[in-house]
Structures are given as structure tokens and as C-alpha cells.
Structure 1
Amino acid sequence: MEKGRIVILGAGESGVGAAMLAQKQGFEVFVSDFGAIATQYKEKLQELNIAFEEKQHDADKILNASEVIKSPGIPDSAPIIKAIKKNKIPVISEIEFAKRYTKGKTVCITGSNGKTTTTMLTYHILKKAGLNVGLAGNIGNSFAALVATTDFEWYVLELSSFMLDDMYEFKADIAVLLNITPDHLDRYDYKLGNYAESKMRITQNQSSEDVFIYCADDEETLKILKSTKTDAKAYPFSIRKKIEEGAYLENNNIHINIHLNDQLTMSITELALQGKHNIYNSMASGIVAKVLDIRNTTIRESMGDFKNIEHRLEHVAKISGVDYINDSKATNVNSTWYALESVGSEVVLIMGGVDKGNDYTMLKDMVHQKVKAIVCLGKDNKRIHEAFEDDVEIIVNTFSAHEAVQVAYHLAKKGDTVLLSPACASFDLFKNYEDRGNQFKTAVKEL
């Protein structure tokens, strides 16, 4: 039987993974990228003998597809997507496609902030408990590539709203929604409600056999829950109130109750991840672990020895009594708010870069309380000066990671924290946020 022709738009990690799986399943495969394809991905496609094009979308080679798999980064407003939809060709995400070819179960994690950390922590606990588990999604590994090459019983997937938008039949066995705060609103007609609906797609197709874990303290989540029906068994978590079934905080202890006779209690001082937002992340991961009947001792150990990802509140060094923290992954205002919330002491904050129309008002109180100086790292720092000139006495402009670290070193005193948490994209001075974080770490180590 003829399988049909699959066209994949975007030849990054997700696109090349989808191509590998489609080829393995016997489809005719064509990959098209409007930009240049990175060498590693081009070599992979050549090695597998998969047809591709770059720096263009040739409509003749695309509009004869039986199905299109698109990269999450391509908006529906792109001309090629409009043409595909006009021709009534189905457009799906790589995650949707991959799920068709695995019997493995999924833990799916989404949220505006904290989803990478929670995904990594959940994977860490499940792996330590001896489950046959894979890690994929927005975190950097292609789910389709894993399905094509391995056979896991469980997959922990980090899902962005863009991925969820192109998922239809997909069902999460365990769905986690951490929070909903304004991000990427340009893709949602600048309406927070549209973005919230997108996030709630994580519960679609769930039955009473499935589980939905959410934050009972998050206003936008509670709002969208009123208008979204889900049959899944719900386990909320909260640091403000006692929760009968789920997780809550009391006297600096996390309590996780899934089965009434088997409660997990753990002091927040034992957690590897510190700061209020990380209590939420740890609770969400802990509920997943309890749902899967993982032993309390394993959960405690895993939550205590977890190492966070690089460039996310990563402790770089302590020099002359000053802590240096790399949070280069904080490319929006919200992430920087969380970073400031999780550090104690007086802070010298290194921030700036390409500003995506940031609204800095939500940072003002936190900056006023904790920040003694701001070191701007970007080509145009005017908006940062305007936003914080009444809250911080010292605001300095710098144009390289080395210069920013040198200035911060002179401004910081023993007991302070120098925090790189830019709230902006990095493309004005760096290749990406990793490059920015690595240059910061190099500069700190040269002090």
C-alpha cells in the first residue's frame, strides 16, 4: 500500500527527527527550510538520502503532500502555510506525528515559566526510579527521532504552546500545566485568553484514566479551567492553601497526597532547587512521581541531588564572598522576575539585549527591593534606563560580557550576588543565549 508523501517544513532538531521517523515508516519524505540548514542536520539528511531544499519553499514540491509536519517556529500567517491550508492539506506537529508510532506513555509539561526545569526534574526522578524513560520535546531532543531509534515505555515531553497548537489526536497520559503568564502574545493576536486556550490543549482527549496536574495559585489557569472541561483526574498544587488531593506547602514542608495513606513530606530546605517558583516546580514533579507509585525515598533523593540545566540560575563561582549566577536563558521579563525572587541578598543585575517590546513594570518592585546596581549588556539600553532610573542609583552601560563582569565585580561587595538575567534576547551582541551565558562564565573565571 502506498504510504503517501510527507513534507516537513523546517530542518532543525524537530524537522530532521520527523524526517527520520517518516522515512522509517515508509513514507516518501521531502524537507523544506526557508533558511539555511545547519551543517549537522544537512549531513544527517544526506546520510539518510532524504530529499531537501534550503533558503526557499518550492510550492510545487510542497503542495502535493498528503500531510505536512511543520516546525513550531513557523507561524500560521506564513504564506506557505496559508497555501497549504487553502489546498486542504493537514498540518500537524512533529509531536503529533511521533505519538502515532509509539505505545509509550507520556508525561507532558507546559507553562510559561519553569517548564524546562520541571521536565528535567521529572525525568531525573523517573530515571532514578529505574523506569525505561526518554526525554524530548521543546527541551532539545526530537520526540520523533527517539521514537524512530529507541523504544521507551515512558517519555517526558516539554511542550510549548506552538507545539500544542498543531496537536489534534495526541493525548497526554499525565499532563502538567505550571502557569500562564504573557509570552509570545504576538502569535495569539495579543490576547492572553487565546494563549491560555493554547496551553489548555495539553488536556485534550484526556479520559478519566488520565491525570491533569495544575497550579491552584495561578489566576489565568483558574480562569481558563472554568471554560475548559476535562475528564482527567485533577491534582492541584498550592503554596497558599491546604490541598486534599495534590500538593501543598505548610510550615516550610511540602506535602504530597495522592493516596491518603501514603503521604510524602519533605522540607523545602532539602530541595536542590531553591526559590518560591521552584517549590511549585518540585511539587509538580513530585505529584507525577507519586502518581507513578515511585517510592518516597527515591523522590526525596532525586529532589535533593538534582542539577539544573546550564544557563538557568546556574551557580558559576563564589569570588571574594560574591556569588556569580548565570541565568542567560531568561529571555523574558517574567523569567528575570523569577530569578530575582529566588536569590536573597543585594544584587548587581546584568540585563539587556534585544528587547521584544518588554513591559518592565512587573519588575519594578522586585528591582527596588533587591537590586543595588544594573549593568546593561546590549547595544541599546535606553528603555532599561527609563524603566528603572527611579529604583536603582547606579545603571551602567557595557557592550561585552567581559566588560559587564568587570564592572559588576567592582560594584559588588562581600555577600552580594552578581546575576546575569537579561530579560531580553541575545542577538545584538551574541549568537544565542548559550553563547551569552558561556562568555559570562568565561569572564567570571578570569576574575
Structure 2
Amino acid sequence: MGTRRAPPPADLNPRTKHYEFLGPPGALFITLGVPATTYALYYGCSEHSGGCPPQLETLYPSFLAAVQDKDWWLGLWDTKAALAYLAWYAFCVVAWFVLPGDWVEGVYIRDGSTKKYKINAFTTFLLTMGALTGVIYRFGPESFTFIYERWIGFVTASIAMSVFQGVLCYLFSFRKGALLALGGNSGNPIYDFFVGRELNPSIGWFDVKSFNELRPGLILWVLVDISMACEQYVRRGSVTDSMWLVLAFQAWYVADGLYNEPAILTTMDITTDGFGFMLAVGDLAWVPFVYSLQARYLVFNPIELGQEATVGIVLVNLLGYYIFRAANGEKNDFRNGRNPKNLEYMTTEGGSKLLTSGWWGRSRHPNYFGDLLMALAWSLPTGYDTPITYFYVIYFAVLLIHRQRRDDENCEKKYGKDWKKYCEIVPYRIIPYIY
């Protein structure tokens, strides 16, 4: 799908008239629900709380006893974990400034300008992995088990950082000249804080949104997985094939995303959504501490899969990755004016071009289909003893369907009757011939 420069509208910051997420009540529910769910996935799937899940007859009494206990609430905070998290975030900021990287222009913003983004997330990842490898080689796996040991403290620190950034960005969005997100200027503070009021909050050339999208949380996700593998090694003297699979799949996914950093500059998160608590808590807390659930589960419930199961799961992941990368490659080439496969497309009345062949002729979001297959492959190594380790697949399916519907709605507004014509040519939303 192509983009072109348009003259800036007369009113750059119109009032938002259409709510998403069921409006302020929904925004408040998610604002409270995301942190609560992050904690619940730990207490509902942990050796310290009685298993995954704990015995049902003890679950509710244990919950009541905990929330009525002052020490339990105080135990959510861990100063050492908070300082470690703050040091990690500071390291990512310093790496952004210090490490070399190309400057790439994003898409045109509605005021007619473009932003430049420094591309060095993959370099930051390599530096981190190199330093961590040295630490583990020198001091042993036991030197990097502290994330598992101080899990709740790290979760609390990441949520605190998310709240801090959400509040700060909301307050600074009221400064003169700030360009607001079209969906985040409703005038309701609860809703705008959650969705994100300012489109691109920045400190000089430092863009807060794109930085959080790829660096602190995404790289931390891999660090968490490595910490889980270290904990398993310390306990057993070896790492199971299931843990290696989860670590390899998720580390590769992260590395691939960081290597292809410029690709995020055309996503809805960057081009359309403001930066508020929704993106902050998603990037900083949800990604590293929910997406790593499978690795954490395998620490206290180690599983040896065997050769046949391992090969089968690897094939599922490779298929998902192939679809994901091939589809995104076609889209990025086309958006940048290249069409090496001579893919067919239709041209809208406004001059935009929409792909109608290749992967994008099979469904309107084929990359989401690849994503879902990979998500399934990440959960399969945990076996079938509990549905909780498949939470990510279920959640991700709901997220992608919601994102697909948002995208389709925006495209219908943008392209009008041309979008209906396009949907007749490409009728399937995500999974070809199914949905």
C-alpha cells in the first residue's frame, strides 16, 4: 500500500469524536487490567504459588489472604530489581545515543513533515548479547538467575516506568505546538492518557515511541528467556530441548525485528497511534514478562520433547516465519516503490496503490497469519498439561483480529468505495480460505 504527501489540514489537532476500546470505561478497565493480568499470570502459574494453575480449591482463599496482607502488597516492590531495571533502561538510552546508526525518514505526517529515526536497535542487541555472554562465561549461569528470583520486583518496576512515561507524555502533550494523535484528543483524561494524546513525543531527535517499541522491552524479553535457561541449568545441570526451542524461537524473532527496524516506521503504532499508557505498558511490561511465560514455566516443569516432536515444532515455526517475513518483504518493497515480483495492484481514486496478488492477494493481513503460527510454535514446547502456557496464542489472536478490524476501518474511511472493491478482490482478512 503506497503513501503520498498531502497538504496539511487546516485544523491539525481536531477533537476525537470516535472512541475505541468502548470509550473511557474500557480504557480504565484495560489500564487496570493489564498490570493485574501480568501479576495474575505469575501467581496463577508459578511454583511459589502452588503450580500452573494452583489447586482450584485453594486459589480463592489464597487470593483473599494475600490482598488482605500488608506484607504481600509491600512485597510487590523490590528495590534491587527496580534499580536493575532502571540501569537496564538507562543502558538502552545511552546505547541509542552512543552507538552508530543510519538516520531514516519515516512516512509523511499529516502536517506535511517527516521525522528521522536513528536505526541502531540491532547493534544494541548485539552489544547486549556480547556483554551477557561474557558475564555468563566468566561467572557461570548462576550469575544470571536473578530475574527469575526477583520476577515480581521486575514486573512492578516495569509497570511503574510505564505509568511514569504515560503521565509525563500526557502532561507534555498540552504544550504549544504539539501534534496530537487523531484518536487521542477526546478531552477525556482517562481515555487520552491510555490511548496516547501526542503522536510523536520526542526529546530533541530522541523519539520516545519508536525507542520503546524496539529496545528496552523487546531486548529484555530475550534476557528474561536467557535467565530462565540459566535457572533451569543451575537446577538440573542441563537445559532441556523444550527450553532451547523457546529461547531460539523468541530470540530469533526479536533479532529479526531489530534487524529490520525500519519496517516499524510504516506500522499503525508509529504512524497513527499516540504514545500513552497503552503502548508504554505493552512495550515495557507486557512484552518481556508475559511473552516469556513459556520459558518461565519450563523452569519448574522441565520437558524433554524428543527428536520427532522437536522437528515438528521447528517446522511450524519456520512456516510461520517464512509467511511473516515474505509478506512483510513484499509490502515494504512495494511501499518503497519497488516491485521485483511484478505483483498486481489496484490504484484508488486518491492515487494510492493496494496489492492484490502475492501474499497480499491471499489475505489482507498475511503477516498476522505467520505471526500466529510462530506464536503457536512457542507454546507447543510446554506440552498440554495446562492451557495457561497457551495464553499468548489466544491473546495474540484477539489482539491481531482487533488490530485488523482497526486497520480495515481506517482504510475504509481513507479509500471509500475503493476499499469495498479491494475487499471483493481480497476477501480473506488474515487466514486464507478461513478468516
**Greater relative CO, 1 or 2 (CA 8 Å, sep 6+):** 2
TM-score, normalised with respect to structure 2: 0.25
TM-score, normalised with respect to structure 1: 0.25
**Greater strand content:** 1
